[in-house]
Structures are given as C-alpha cells and as structure tokens.
Amino acid sequence: MTLQRTTMRTLGIVAVLGAAWLSSTAMAQEPSASSVALPGPSLAPVAGPGWLGADVEVYRDDFATPSGWTIVDDAGGRTAYEDGGLAMTVAQDGATYWDDHRLPAAHAVLRVEALVSNLQGAGAAGVACGSSLGVPRYLFAAITNEADWIFGRIIDGRVQVIDRAPLPGDVDATRVRLGIECASAPDEGGDHALVTLDGIGVALPAFDIPVGPYDAATLVVSADVAPSSVLFDDLLVQAGETYAPRSPDRDPNKPSS
C-alpha cells in the first residue's frame, strides 16, 4: 500500500488535486443524481453476492495485525493500527490522505466496504473503487461530520461530487458499514455504481465517463478543518467479471460469473 497526500485548493465542486478529495464543505454542492431505495433485500446487510455482480471475495482485512497499510506519524497526520482497526488522522486544513490496496488483477466489477466509525473533526471519510490503468480514477462514497453521505468521482485529479444527502434516520452516523460497488459497462458508455449504508442501498445513474476496470480498494479521509480522524475496520473487497445487476430473475445465492 502507498499512502498518498494532497493539500487541496478548491473552486466550486471541481479541483485539480493529483487524485485526491475535496473537503466536506467543498462538497456541499446540490447533488445531480436521484437516489432511490432498492427494494426488499437491500434493507438487510449485504453479506453475500453484490448487487451489481461483485460476488467473489478477493481481499479481507480486520486490521488485527499489520497487513501492509502505510504507517506514518508526522506533522501532516498519522496512520496506525489501534483500537482493533486502522486509524487515520489528517493534521492539516484542506488536506486528504488515501491509501490503496492494489489487487493482483483488474476486475469489471468491484465492491469495497468497511466499517467507518468515530469520525472526528470537520471532514469526511470513506471507501473507493480505483483504477490505476492509464489515467488514475476513482469512484468514492463517504460520510461527513454533518451526518451526510456523499458520492463522486475522481478523474486524473479532477474531483466531482455527484450526489449528497442526509444519512437515513436509522443509520448511526458514528458507526456506519459503508460500501460502494462499481461496475464497468463499456457498451453502455459509462459505469454503474451503488452505495450502501448499513445495507440500505442507493442506486445511482450510469456515468458518461468510464472509470473501470478496477484494481484498487481505497480508504480515504479528508479534513476541512484539521484535525480530522476516523477508524476503519472489517474491510471486505469483492469482485466480479461481468456487470450483472441483481433482479427478481437472478438467484441471489448464485455467483454472477
């Protein structure tokens, strides 16, 4: 894993960063996508096959022992294994830290989920699907200190927030099982994405800019006003080779590939 840092200068909701995030205040733009609750089983924790086809486990980390994430403690911030998880702190205003776990191969569909807890300070923290093939690019989901969820993309250092809304009322903002599932659909001219918050699904439209295939599972934290810190735990990464959205005709216990 390689810890990456940036200090952000923002203009509206788009910034040239070097593949990093806007702070949560800069993400306050009204969302452009419509969020809808998925029917039936989406209200239960997603523990098996993914909604878009990421149903094969390719990586898991409970952070109980050192597992390759970059450990640092300096004027810029701190990352450490503690309290049974991976703690990340940003110590500079307007800065972002993120760390990738690179997979051995790229996948058409990738799901990254983790327990995100104890978010402190003015900022945001979450997970992302990333691609290092060609221009670096990510789709991300995060929670903010204002008890919102946010979703967006990063293409060659340009960051755009696509959607933002308050967390559902039954989701505890101090402890959220946050997931993002991303599916490359080149024949459709863009990618599909799904954000889950303690198993509550938020369907999002296909994009006009393809991001996948995906080869990185990413953890990230940003500070609007430092310090901002978070604890990650129980990281799970699942993959699939074909965009296969779950439907009444698809057996949810049968892998898509």
According to DSSP, residue 75 is labeled T
Q: What percent of the chain has pLDDT over 90?
A: 49
Residue 14, pLDDT > 60, answer: no
Confidence bin at 57 (pLDDT 50/70/90): very high
pLDDT in tens, 169-194: 889 999 999 999 999 988 888 899 99
Extents of the domains making up the chain: 2-240
Is residue 47 over pLDDT 70? Answer: no
pTM: 0.81
Q: Closest Cα partner for 194 from 39, 52, 42, 58?
A: 52
Q: Biggest alpha carbon distance in the chain?
A: 54
Domain 2-240 has CATH 2.160.10.10: no
Give the pLDDT confidence of 199-255 residue by residue, as tens digits: 888 767 777 778 899 999 999 898 999 999 999 999 999 999 999 887 645 444 444
